[in-house]
Amino acid sequence: MKIMIVDDEQDVEILFVQKFRKEIKSKLLEVEFAFSGEEALRKLGEAGSPDVVYVFSDINMPGMSGLELLENIKARYPKIEVSMISAYGDKENYNKAIKSGAKGFFTKPVDFDSLKHEIAELLTKKLN
């Protein structure tokens, strides 16, 4: 299963690879990174019909915000599940994200146990 992490802070790549090392090594999970909303859409569009099944995106990014990215993904690729992350757990962003079709909403620092649980649910759904 392929997921995409979208965050303008490039050091998250090291963190996610470290946290999902076992799943990546066992080939249960393939992780792709994009460092802007625009880059994420470009990468999703390159494949024609993307094999990414889950996108985990920061809300606050320069250029296209995570909420704008969410709306774009849901309009173009409705089968891709999207969860949002924000340094601020404010209700306004939460409500916008859920209303726009987000599967989940996380606050920083990321609770990787909860994130792994959400991804495991998607894996189970995909395998059945």
Domains identified in the chain, total number = 1
State how far the Cα of 106 lies from the Cα of 86, in Å rounded to an integer.
Answer: 6
What is the pTM (predicted TM-score) of this model? 0.92
Q: Give the domain range for residue 42.
A: 2-127
Q: Look up the CATH number of the domain holding residue 116.
A: 3.40.50.2300
Q: Are 69 and 21 in contact (CB under 8 A)?
A: no
Q: What is the pLDDT of residues 65-121, one digit of tens each?
A: 999 999 999 999 999 999 999 987 788 999 999 999 999 999 988 899 999 998 888
Q: What is the pLDDT of residues 29-60, one digit of tens each?
A: 999 999 999 999 999 998 665 689 999 999 99
State how far the Cα of 57 lies from the Cα of 67, in Å rounded to an integer.
Answer: 9
Work out the percent of the chain whose per-residue pLDDT is above 70: 95
